[in-house]
Amino acid sequence: MNEMTTIAKTTTLKDWESDQEVRWCPGCGDYAILKAVQRTMPETGTPPEKTVFISGIGCSSRFPYYMETYGFHTIHGRAPAFATGLKLANPELDIWIVTGDGDGLSIGGNHTMHLIRRNLDCQIMLFNNEIYGLTKGQYSPTSRVGTNSPSTPYGSVDRPAQPCAFALGSGARFVARGFDVSKELPNVLKAAHAHKGAAFVEIFQNCIVYNKDVFQDFAAPKGAEDRQLWLVNGEPMLFAKGTKGIALDNEALTLKVVDVVDGDWKAAGVIVHDVTNRSVAHMLVEMRFGEFPMALGVLYDDPRPTFEADVVRQNQAAREGKTADLQGLLKKGQTWTVKEGGPEL
Amino acid sequence: MATAVEDLADKRQSPLSDAVVVRFAGDSGDGMQLTGGQFTLSTALAGNDLATFPDFPAEIRAPQGTLFGVSAFQINFGSSEITTAGDAPDVLVAMNPAALKTNVPSLKPGGLIIADSGEFNDRNLAKAKCESNPLEDGSLAKWQLLKLNISQLTMDAVKPFGLGNKEALRCKNMWTLGLALWMFDRDRAPLIEWLKAKFAKAPELAEANIAALNAGHAYGETAELAGPLKQHHVAPAPVAPGLYRTLTGAEGIALGLVAGAQLAKLPMFFGGYPITPASAILHHLSRLKEYDVTTFQAEDEIAAICAAIGASYGGSLGVTSSSGPGIALKGEAMGLAIMTELPLVIVNSQRGGPSTGLPTKTEQSDLYQAVYGRNGDAPMPVIAARSPGDAFECAIEACRIATQYMTPVMLLTDGYIANAAEPWAVPDLTAYEAFPVEFLTEVPEGGFKPYSRDEKLARPWVKPGTPGLLHRIGGIEKEVDTGHLNYNPENHQAMTNLRKAKVDGIRIPDQIVELGAEGGNLAVVGWGSTFGPIHQAVRRKRAEGHDVSHIHIRHIWPLPGNLGELLRSYDKVIVPEMNTGQLKTVLRDQYLVDAKPLNKVSGQPFRIAEIEAAIEEALG
């Protein structure tokens, strides 16, 4: 939200903890995300009273109760719409939207799309656990094909949505990825906060009750270097301790994994990450894990004017030179005066 | 009844009384709404009281000449108080066979038909499913018929301006209007000024339209000696002195909301989504940015109300507006506004339902939806406007209740009020008492509790951004006072009681009797846009010496404190409604009175005669 200038830390992590007892299941990934957010907040430079957390419905949406800020736990899927009204009413507020895969992509997919399209200045944290937790384990729009759940006892048949591809396709100017227990998560959130406009962050979150360890194949610490590609602006896209990288297949116009010999990534054709390159961003969000490592960090970041700034500008322009004379407005148009003797123009 | 109509042509008995009903009917593309609107203005300028009824199809441009593509505009004007658009027209202007066929059945016997014979060709007759030409086959014998080739007369009049056939024929409505202005002795000057302004960028179109208007007028002058065409002068109505303008319900709502926000000293945020007939409110407000109004066309009805609640949370007066189907979508969010106790005004411009129903027709069938239509025990104040001018007052009242009691309020209007125009005495805004909102900005003595209550049981309104008052709200049940999440049985009972007590305790004026005595033989109880026909019917019956009173309820929920006692003071109560008996059911439930329904759900307003008949039947 703010420009990345030197920010004097006037608060500590403790200042951002509310007095409410946290009620997620023991071991839930949400605890780690909450801590990461509370760790990030002192570094944003925004005071707690100017900060608002807005959520929809679901496990993730309990989040605002645990933050010592203003907070609004709204209705299922609609947090982006509340955020839009609030930001237009007071553009100075720093708004964080907390949503999940069901809340933000299923029932609220429409609002997520339009908030991103309009480019409202806010941070959207989508906790993706690939399951409906609060309703006891039904498959969600991000669940993989074949997910067994109470509502899909023979396995789900529909293909999952890809949150980052959805965001970019909706016109997002900032797309990032992290996961609950990652040490890098505060940095990803800081970058999202520094972006002026709608900043979309997909956070893989482990639901230990209904969808345990579905992200372990890339999130597990052991062998993480081989399975995680942390993107850094201006740096080559390297992983596996620099022995592998991502290059462009010029024939197929796709990405490919290449071996890097003796650290000579240039020779291997490894791409240097440019966060403003939208074409590459489209390939990164579509990059399939397995064949490729999981792309994490800031995938795309290229700001443009925000919705609320444009609305304020237009409102001001329309007001220029006009006075709010309501009595005059009531009399506007063709009027006539009735005197004792009858009407006249 | 005093005959104020002077027949200027001769002193023969005029077929018209002191009030005249004219209906302009044509194809959707014939400009009938515009003709009606301009005729309304000239009527207002002539000092007549008036009421209008625009009646148009849901199709934007229905296939030309078809029965379902007919668009009509009815106006009732006179020299005494007018409260309805009139039961049956005295004059029908029919621009094609379809317009004649769909509108002539309601014309008074002996009434005048002015038909554009140029459009009664085989093709149009077939489209209107006429087996023979009604202008020639004698089927219109019980009316006076004036056949004019308006198409040809218009073409002749605009010939000097070199327009193409299609454009020339577009001036037909102005020719017709010119004739109508002559018939009722009206001044053409304001209309000519209006045409010049409208076509400022295409002076040849302005000239052609003015020529058509003048030609229609001249036709009246020269043709008056022959046939049924005569000039009538309807004397000005005895209205209170003051400054007047015409006002539609949509304008009344928009202006009233702006006034309400100003009286509350708040910026207004309006979230809307296009829907007939509510969109006009969004259109009006989007041009009023200098009044601290922000309008937002949301991605759907749900987002529109949610954004309005978000803005209210931020310290603006949140407003949203829709019609039945859209209001249904907003239901869950209304529940959240009730739970979080935030101010919000929800305008419902009712239309025919259920489902998509009759988008352009009027109905009052969303009363249950307004009073009861949410999950849980979710009490919400409901106010209903009776006319365009009353919509202004009701909008202010909705803003007052919403901000003073920290509650969503539903304001009911309908398609008839939204589109209809009436003369409106421009109010003096200094006469309205302001109700400035005071936000909580500091920790009060004894500590800050987000769900503490004042003497009205309203909780404090705190804007995010205020230091020291950080708190969280949401849709989960709140603990009394603290607002923390709380699922305890006693607490839910207490909070449910509090929400009910707050709405029940809203201070509203006692119910008055519009016409007639308090207590007696019969009360006719109405709400919303049925005001006009009920009022006229009761007035006529009282003039005949019957003991009947008119009660019209503005505050649908909570109901006025004295209403039960008042209703029980009559032997009989009838409730005319454009639904199957919704207010009737509420009154029976609340007061155990034997209220009898009078229902009409045809998409058309009540006729005065229909209510008169019901009064006669009730009185026995």
Asked whether residue B6 carries a pLDDT value surpassing 70, the answer given is no
Q: How far apart are CA A68 and CA A65, in angstroms?
A: 8
Cβ-defined contact of A342 to B236 (cutoff 8 Å): yes
Given CB atoms, is A315 within the 8 Å cutoff of chain B?
Answer: yes
pLDDT at B16: 45
Q: Are strands B242-248 and B520-527 parallel, antiparallel or unpaired?
A: unpaired
- B-chain residue closest to A335, CA distance: B245
Asked if B475 and A74 count as a contact pair (C-beta separation under 8 A), the reply is yes
Asked whether residue B15 carries a pLDDT value surpassing 90, the answer given is no
The interface predicted TM-score (ipTM) is: 0.96
pLDDT at A344: 53
Task: Estimate to the nearest angstrom the gap between the alpha carbon of B106 and the chain centroid.
Answer: 22
Terminal alpha carbon distance of chain B: 25
Using only C-alpha atoms, chain B has a radius of gyration, in whole angstroms, of: 27
Give B126-182 pLDDT, tens digit per residue. 999 999 999 999 999 999 999 999 999 999 999 999 888 888 999 999 999 999 999
Higher pLDDT, B615 or B53: B615
Spatial CB neighbours of B410, under 8 Å, sequence gap ≥ 6: B334, B346, B347, B348, B370, B380, B381, B382, B383, B398
How far are the Cα atoms of A26, B15, B43 from residue B108, in angstroms, in the given order? 79, 11, 21
pLDDT at B224: 66
> Residue B426: its chain A contacts at CB < 8 A?
330-331, 335
For the residues B326-349, what does the mean pLDDT come to?
98
Cβ-defined contact of A84 to B47 (cutoff 8 Å): no
Helix (H, G, I), strand (E, B), or coil: what is residue B140?
Answer: coil
For the residues B584-611, what does the mean pLDDT come to?
96
Give B452-491 pLDDT, tens digit per residue. 999 999 999 999 999 999 999 999 999 999 999 999 999 9
Helix (H) or strand (E) holding A259: strand A254-259
Percent of chain B with pLDDT over 90: 80
Nearest to A90 among B465, B468, B485 (CB): B465
pLDDT at B270: 98
Cβ-defined contact of B243 to A70 (cutoff 8 Å): no
> Residue A86: its chain B contacts at CB < 8 A?
310-311, 313-314, 464
> Residue B297: its chain A contacts at CB < 8 A?
none
For the residues B3-21, what does the mean pLDDT come to?
46
Higher pLDDT, A342 or B111: B111
Nearest to B307 among A71, A85, A92 (CB): A85
> Residue B330: its chain A contacts at CB < 8 A?
none
Residues in chain A: 345
Torsion of CA B21, B27, B31, B35, to 10 degrees: -10
> Residue A315: its chain B contacts at CB < 8 A?
289, 294
Q: Where are the alpha helices (DSSP H) in A15-108?
A: 29-40, 79-89, 101-102
pLDDT at B222: 84
Cβ-defined contact of A82 to B306 (cutoff 8 Å): yes
Asked whether residue B17 carries a pLDDT value surpassing 60, the answer given is no
pLDDT at A6: 54
Asked if A224 and A218 count as a contact pair (C-beta separation under 8 A), the reply is yes
Tens digit of pLDDT at every position of chain A (345 positions): 444 455 567 899 999 999 999 999 999 999 999 999 999 999 999 999 999 999 999 999 999 999 999 999 999 999 999 999 999 999 999 999 999 999 999 999 999 999 999 999 999 999 999 999 999 999 999 999 999 999 999 999 999 999 999 999 999 999 999 999 999 999 999 999 999 999 999 999 999 999 999 999 999 999 999 999 999 999 999 999 999 999 999 999 999 999 999 999 999 999 999 999 999 999 999 999 999 999 999 999 999 999 999 999 999 999 999 999 999 999 987 788 887 765 554
Cis status of the peptide bond prior to B190, with omega within 30 of 0: no
Nearest to A336 among B244, B298, B312 (CB): B244
pLDDT at A341: 60
Asked whether residue B28 carries a pLDDT value surpassing 90, the answer given is no
- A-chain residue closest to B464, CA distance: A70
pLDDT at B227: 67
Q: How far apart are CA A56 and CA A38, in angstroms?
A: 20
Cβ-defined contact of A72 to B468 (cutoff 8 Å): no
pLDDT at B156: 94
pLDDT at B62: 78
Structure tokens at B448: 């800050």
Percent of chain B with pLDDT over 70: 96
Q: How far apart are CA A343 and CA A335, in angstroms?
A: 10
DSSP, residue by residue, A242-256: TTEEEEEETTTTEEE
Give B509-565 pLDDT, tens digit per residue. 999 999 999 999 999 999 999 999 999 999 999 999 999 999 999 999 999 999 999
* pTM greater than the 0.95 cutoff: no
Cβ-defined contact of B336 to A74 (cutoff 8 Å): yes
Spatial CB neighbours of A175, under 8 Å, sequence gap ≥ 6: A164, A167, A168, A200, A202, A281, A285, A298, A299, A300, A301
Structure tokens at A239: 């992983």
Q: How far apart are CA A7 and CA A3, in angstroms?
A: 10
**How far does the CA of residue A99 sit from the closest CA of chain B (Å)?**
15
Give B71-83 pLDDT, tens digit per residue. 999 999 998 888 8
Cβ-defined contact of B464 to A90 (cutoff 8 Å): yes
| Residue B4: pLDDT band with limits 50, 70, 90 | very low
Give B394-442 pLDDT, tens digit per residue. 999 999 999 999 999 999 999 989 988 888 999 999 999 999 999 999 9
CA atoms within 13 A on the CB side of A34: 23
> Residue A93: its chain B contacts at CB < 8 A?
314, 464-465
**How far does the CA of residue A257 sit from the closest CA of chain B (Å)?**
41
